[in-house]
Amino acid sequence: MSILDRIVAAARERVERDKKAGLRARSGQPREPFLFEQALRRPGMSFICEVKKASPSRGVIAEDFPYPDIAREYEEAGAAAVSVLTEPDYFMGHDRYLAEIRAVVNIPLLRKDFIIDRFQIEQSSALGADAILLVCAILTPGQLAEYIEAADDLGLSCLAEAHDEEELKTALNAGARIIGVNNRSLKTFEVDTANSIRLRRHVADNVIFVSESGIRTAEDVELLRQNGVDAVLVGETLMRAHDKKAALDMLRGGAA
């Protein structure tokens, strides 16, 4: 069984537990719909900065993990949005991270998890997310279209994640307005940012295009910008930085 299969199996068990526990109501005033895509459509390169403690490929990234403070740092540094890992078994995330970060920042939040049930879409809204990740590799075309429609009904944006041209076509056919190309191979976990550049030409300009994984330098960001990428999702580079504002300023240096 691949690591992705194991993650999905764990997600199914977690969803069943969460269904029994029920939904927790969102606190505070309802937020404006589709704030995530509004933020990414602003001029210039947008930065989605990730709050992530660990990953299957890199192990523990942040021993010290004051996640609300990290999110606030990102907001103060000018991030367009914050991505919050909530998957607990392989990324050491938790739903409460999202809810607690929602309470301290105003910029849009992406819930980064493995959505395999409509229940999780309602749950994401209840936790305070403005957007959800939909991984094409674990969903059928029918599920992808259904989940995008369900998210639309709740005012949630969807980042449809593709790894190759086939998944990209599936996402576009399902009506995805935001495409995220993951530069990390699901099979080898090797990273190649050229994957985003290869796939960008298959996506219309009115669809927001996000490059994910392996973005480490201002030169990486500038090359992606020159090739029509609208936003980058940056995790490990920022999580390992002691001064996250300085690290984001460094990455932004090539994207002016």
Catalytic residue among 37, 46, 52, 244: 52
Tokens of 26: 């969102």
Q: Is 212 annotated as catalytic?
A: yes
Q: Is 19 annotated as catalytic?
A: no
Count the Cβ atoms, other than its own, within 10 Å of residue 47. 25
Tokens of 253: 């240096």
Q: Is 106 annotated as catalytic?
A: no
Catalytic residue among 73, 211, 213, 236: 213
Beta-bridge partners for 128: none
Strand-pair category, 109-112 with 178-182: unpaired
**Which helix (H) or strand (E) element contains residue 81?**
strand 81-85
Q: Is 166 annotated as catalytic?
A: no
Catalytic residue among 50, 73, 75, 87: 50
Catalytic residue among 46, 182, 183, 211: 182
Catalytic residue among 37, 73, 167, 212: 212
Catalytic residue among 161, 196, 211, 244: 161
Catalytic residue among 46, 53, 75, 112: 112
Distances (CA, A) of 78 to 3, 194, 251: 34, 26, 12
- Terminal-to-terminal C-alpha distance of the chain: 44
Q: Is 182 annotated as catalytic?
A: yes
Catalytic residues: 50, 52, 112, 161, 182, 212-213
